[in-house]
């Protein structure tokens, strides 16, 4: 499997790209944490900084896609080596979308606090889903950094917890809205934030699936069987 193309230089260049992708991962992770904090305390200038930061993330997406293309053309990787580049290209897309969702959280936080939150403890509603998703995101970047297939499998299972928590929030919000229609507007904003968080969980799961694709050479997207491979907790 280690043909002529799997040169030291190829490995070095690929590692360079992978470090940059991890840097991008760190950026969107910070964006997400900051956006959550803005939602919690209503710091509007901070929310605006999170929104502005998205441009840097977007630029990184474009330049990293470019770097992957250059690597392919210059080094003409074997099928085995190409798998890592293909997965990296997909991970870059997911990271950019995570940045988009974090930006939405910041934008909604700004809007909600400008209008004033009414009727319920809005941050308490999302505390659990935010914590679970932050961990998933962190772990997915960690699994990508270390190409750890086992950790990746756990992330895929963890995303189910996030989805379940979203449905719980939805039910609570409907109750609030029904009991006091004055809460409808802020309840909807809280729901949009919860939805954005839930999507970040989906992207973390996608990243985990690409890690497994690199490590095990099998494409497990859309496969249910995988959960049987999980060690009992």
**Interface positions with its own copies (CB under 8 A):** 55, 58-59, 61-62, 65-66, 68-70, 72-73, 76-79, 82-83, 86, 89-90, 93, 170, 174, 177-178, 181, 184-185, 188, 191, 195, 219, 221-222
Q: How far apart are CA 33 and CA 18, in angstroms?
A: 22
| Cβ nearer to its own copies, comparing 44 with 184 | 184
Nearest approach, Cβ of 146 to its own copies (angstroms)?
24
Nearest-approach distance from CB 23 to its own copies, in angstroms:
18
Residue 155 CA to residue 149 CA, distance in Å, equals: 10
From the CB of 12, what's the least distance to its own copies, in Å? 20
Nearer to its own copies, 22 or 86 (CB): 86
CA nearest to 125, candidates 165, 98, 163: 165
Measured CA to CA, the distance from residue 90 to residue 48 in angstroms comes to 28
Give the separation between CA 225 and CA 10, rounded to whole angstroms. 34
Cα(44)–Cα(34) distance, integer angstroms: 11
The nearer residue to its own copies, 63 or 146, going by C-beta atoms, is 63
- Shortest CB 124 distance to its own copies, Å: 21
Nearest of 28, 40, 42, 38 to residue 127 by alpha carbon: 40
In 3D, which of 133, 131, 156, 132 has the Cα closest to residue 143?
156
In degrees to the nearest 10, what's the CA dihedral of 231, 154, 216, 82? 180
State in angstroms the smallest separation of the CB of 5 from its own copies: 10
Q: How far is the CB of 43 from its own copies (least distance, A)?
A: 25
Kindly tell me which of 145 and 188 has the beta carbon lying closer to its own copies: 188
Q: Closer to its own copies by CB, 114 or 131: give it.
A: 114
**44 vs 170 by CB, closer to its own copies:** 170
Shortest spacing between CB 209 and its own copies, in angstroms: 11
Report whether 89 contacts 18 (CB < 8 A): no
H and E: helices and strands count for the chain: 6, 0
- Of the pair 52, 62, the CB lying nearest its own copies is at 62
């Amino acid at each position: 499997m280690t043909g002529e193309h799997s040169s030291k230089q190829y490995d070095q260049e690929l590692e360079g790209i992978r470090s940059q992708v991890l840097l991008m991962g760190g950026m969107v992770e910070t964006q997400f944490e900051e956006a959550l904090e803005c939602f919690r305390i209503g710091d509007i200038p901070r929310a605006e900084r999170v929104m502005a930061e998205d441009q840097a993330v977007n630029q990184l997406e474009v330049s990293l896609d470019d770097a992957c293309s250059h690597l392919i053309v210059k080094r003409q990787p074997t099928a085995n080596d190409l798998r890592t580049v293909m997965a990296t290209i997909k991970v870059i897309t997911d990271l950019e979308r995570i940045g988009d969702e974090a930006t939405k959280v910041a934008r909604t936080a700004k809007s909600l606090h400008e209008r004033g939150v009414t009727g319920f403890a809005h941050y308490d509603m999302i505390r659990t889903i935010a914590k679970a998703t932050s961990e998933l995101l962190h772990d997915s970047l960690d699994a990508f950094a270390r190409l750890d297939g086992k950790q990746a499998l756990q992330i895929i299972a963890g995303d189910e917890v996030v989805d379940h928590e979203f449905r719980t929030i939805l039910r609570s919000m409907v109750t609030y809205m029904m009991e006091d229609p004055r809460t409808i507007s802020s309840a909807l904003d809280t729901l949009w934030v919860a939805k954005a968080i839930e999507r970040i969980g989906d992207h973390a799961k996608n990243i985990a699936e690409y890690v497994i694709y690199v490590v095990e050479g099998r494409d497990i997207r859309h496969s249910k069987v995988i959960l049987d491979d999980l060690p009992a907790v």
